[in-house]
Amino acid sequence: MRSIGYLLIGIFFGIVMFKSEAASWFRIYEMFQFQSFHMYGIMGSALLLGVIGVQIIKRKNLKSFFGERISFIPKEKSFSRYMYGGIIFGLGWALAGACPGPIFTLIGAGFLPILIVFIGALLGTFLYGLLRKKLPH
Mean pLDDT of 4-31: 84
Question: Could you tell me which residues are beta bridge partners of residue 63?
Answer: 69
Q: How is 35-59 classified by DSSP, letter by letter? A: --SHHHHHHHHHHHHHHHHHHHHHH
pTM reported for the whole predicted model:
0.64
* pLDDT number for residue 137: 67
What's the CA gap between 13 and 15, in Å, rounded?
5
Q: So what's the pLDDT on residue 51?
A: 95
Backbone angles phi, psi at 77, to 5 degrees: -90, 125
Strands (E), 1-137: none
pLDDT (tens digit per residue) in 85-111: 888 888 877 777 777 778 888 888 888
Decide if pLDDT at 11 tops 80. Answer: yes
User: What are the pLDDT digits (tens) for 113-126?
Assistant: 889 888 988 898 89
Amino acid present at 101: G
